[in-house]
Amino acid sequence: MNIVVGVTGGIAAYKTVHLVRLLTKAGHEVTVIPTEDALRFVGLPTWEAISRHPVTTSVHEDVAKVRHVALGQAAELVIVAPATANTIAKMTAGLADDLLGTTLLATVAPVVIAPAMHAEMWQHPATQSNIATLRERGVRIVGPADGELAGGDSGPGRMSEPEEIFAAALAAITPGDLDGRRIAVSAGGTREPIDPVRYLGNRSSGRQGVALAVEAAERGAEVVLVAANISHDVLAAAQHPRIRVVGVGAAAELGAAMREAAAEADAVVMAAAVADYRPAEVAAHKLTKESGPLTSIELVENEDIVAGLVRDRRAGQVIVGFAAETPVAGGGVDDAELMERARRKQQRKGVDLLVVNEVGWDRGFEAAENAVRILGSGGAVVGSAAGSKREVARAIWDAVVKLSQ
Ligand code: C5P
């Protein structure tokens, strides 16, 4: 495969030498395009020796072969590592004042970038907005990792390790196992209005559902993400050309949006924390102490959305539910009882897979990490995962893919 590796001016360029080596060892033809600035960190002879191809930064060489666009046209994949804040800004604006710039504009191949910069530069709204734009255009962003930076600082901004960039690059050119599948995911937590300014809600951040949507999109699926009250920060990660976000508030709205999305979906995941009850009446005006003391709120039961989706399911559609349970340490039940409850819940709702996650004051909801077991329809544990919500998402899609084979 023809791969272009763009190298821009950051100290992490030395790690890219190893990335180029991994790519050539795997049998790819690699053309390195450094920027002028990058050559201050790693010199031209190194890039030529490691890639076994001539290397130039200039658009004025090989003019007869229209090199400034030929490399981009011939590329089957473009990687930019490290990608500095400056290069990211140039990519966003479509600037083409050097060979890397023209190549990036001339290519229709997948593009993977590995940002590397100081934490402040990474967190700057300009960089964050550029990254969001690139992501929307389909550019895959690897990292940056959190860790020690040049100059002894630390924070997010460190370039991901070459092995990780290599894996992301391969993933970008391998058709995903969810290629062309249509998927509906609900995420976040519903808010049931009490009056115009108050609601009954829960602490679900939506991170697990967003991770599910992103993982599915990256594996090739077309995703509708029904997002209930997810903060801007969390939802930012869901910017992807194959994810359509539908924002909702209360359970009834979430139900309507999911029914619509599920009517065309091959798989449905109900990761949202849906309120089981809502206030029987919603006050038209803000309740005040003057309108009388409020010591109780009468509640009525919400419909079970996932059970309804199971009832109306399309042929072959896989439906996944979640069960959040508090174990003993959280004042709940022991493990055997927790799993027994989960099995009963799965039977009651009729879902194909039930993802059981332990929640409590300090785990599951809001946290970045999660630990789950996945129950199959016979009640057996067919998968499990512990770690980042992305890793958990991976295990859930693996189980869905296995079921639909
Ligand atoms: O019964 P419980 O709330 O624990 O069930 C959790 C699962 O059911 C989740 O997948 C959740 O999205 C879904 N659910 C639903 N409608 C409700 C309550 C929960 O679809 N009213």
The whole-angstrom separation of Cα 91 and Cα 266 is: 35
Probe ligand 1: pick from 185, 270, 313, 344, max atoms within 8 Å of CB? Answer: 270
Q: Determine if ligand 1 sits within 6 Å of the CB of residue 306.
A: yes
Q: Which amino acid is at 90?
A: K
Can you give the three-state secondary structure of 274-285, one letter per residue? CCCEEECCCCCC
Say if residues 57 and 34 touch (Cβ distance below 8 Å).
Answer: yes
Nearest-CA residue for ligand 1 atom 2 is 323
Probe ligand 1: pick from 306, 325, 341, max atoms within 8 Å of CB? Answer: 306
- CATH domain 182-404 topology: Rossmann fold (3.40.50)
The alpha carbon of 306 and the centre of ligand 1 are apart by a number of angstroms equal to 6
Among the listed residues 202, 229, 357, 370, the single catalytic one is 202
**Tens-place pLDDT, residues 308-348:** 999 999 999 999 999 988 776 556 668 888 889 999 999 99
What is the three-class DSSP state of 236?
helix
The alpha carbon of 360 and the centre of ligand 1 are apart by a number of angstroms equal to 17
Nearest-CA residue for ligand 1 atom 18 is 274
Q: Determine if ligand 1 sits within 6 Å of the CB of residue 321.
A: yes
Nearest-CA residue for ligand 1 atom 21 is 304
**Tens-place pLDDT, residues 72-81:** 999 999 999 9
**Tens-place pLDDT, residues 180-229:** 999 999 999 999 999 999 999 999 999 999 999 999 998 999 999 999 99
Q: What is the pLDDT of residue 328?
A: 63
**Tens-place pLDDT, residues 346-393:** 999 999 999 998 776 666 666 667 889 999 988 899 999 988 888 899
C-alpha count within 13 angstroms, C-beta hemisphere, residue 312: 15
**Tens-place pLDDT, residues 139-152:** 999 999 988 877 77
SS3 content of the chain, % helix, strand, coil (to 5): 40, 25, 35
Tell me: cis bond preceding 125? Omega within 30 of 0 counts: no
Query: What residues contact residue 289 under an 8 Å CB cut-off, 6+ apart?
Result: none
Least confidently predicted of 20-24, 85-89, 294-298: 294-298
**Tens-place pLDDT, residues 230-279:** 999 899 889 888 999 999 999 999 999 999 999 999 999 999 999 999 99
Residues 88-105 have a mean pLDDT of: 96
The whole-angstrom separation of Cα 339 and Cα 373 is: 9
What is the three-class DSSP state of 291?
helix
Q: What is the pLDDT of residue 330?
A: 55
Class of domain 2-171: alpha beta
What are the tokens at 38? 């990058």
Q: What is the pLDDT of residue 56?
A: 86
The whole-angstrom separation of Cα 395 and Cα 403 is: 12
Partners of 273 in beta bridges: 189
Q: Determine if ligand 1 sits within 6 Å of the CB of residue 354.
A: no
Radius of gyration for the alpha carbons in the chain, expressed in angstroms and rounded: 25
202 carries an active-site annotation:
yes
CB atoms within 10 A of CB 343: 17
**DSSP type of residue 266:** S
Q: Determine if ligand 1 sits within 6 Å of the CB of residue 325.
A: no
User: Where are the chain's structural domains?
Assistant: 2-171, 182-404
The whole-angstrom separation of Cα 397 and Cα 383 is: 10
Q: What is the pLDDT of residue 129?
A: 95
Record the pTM.
0.75
Q: Determine if ligand 1 sits within 6 Å of the CB of residue 305.
A: yes
| pLDDT confidence band for 171 (50 / 70 / 90) | confident
The whole-angstrom separation of Cα 378 and Cα 66 is: 62
Matching CATH topology for 2-171 and 182-404? yes
CB atoms within 10 A of CB 296: 5
| pLDDT confidence band for 138 (50 / 70 / 90) | confident
CB atoms within 10 A of CB 213: 33
Q: Which amino acid is at 147?
A: G
Q: Determine if ligand 1 sits within 6 Å of the CB of residue 251.
A: yes
Q: Determine if ligand 1 sits within 6 Å of the CB of residue 323.
A: yes
Q: What is the mean pLDDT of the chain?
A: 92
Partners of 319 in beta bridges: 268
Q: Determine if ligand 1 sits within 6 Å of the CB of residue 243.
A: no
The alpha carbon of 180 and the centre of ligand 1 are apart by a number of angstroms equal to 27
Q: For residue 95, how far is the Cα from the chain centroid?
A: 28
Q: What is the pLDDT of residue 153?
A: 78
The alpha carbon of 283 and the centre of ligand 1 are apart by a number of angstroms equal to 26
Q: What is the pLDDT of residue 239?
A: 83
Probe ligand 1: pick from 258, 274, 305, 333, max atoms within 8 Å of CB? Answer: 274
CB atoms within 10 A of CB 254: 27
Q: Between the CA of residue 318 and those of 107, 265, 308, what are the distances in Å?
A: 37, 9, 14
Nearest C-alpha neighbor of 73 from the set 4, 170, 158, 153: 4
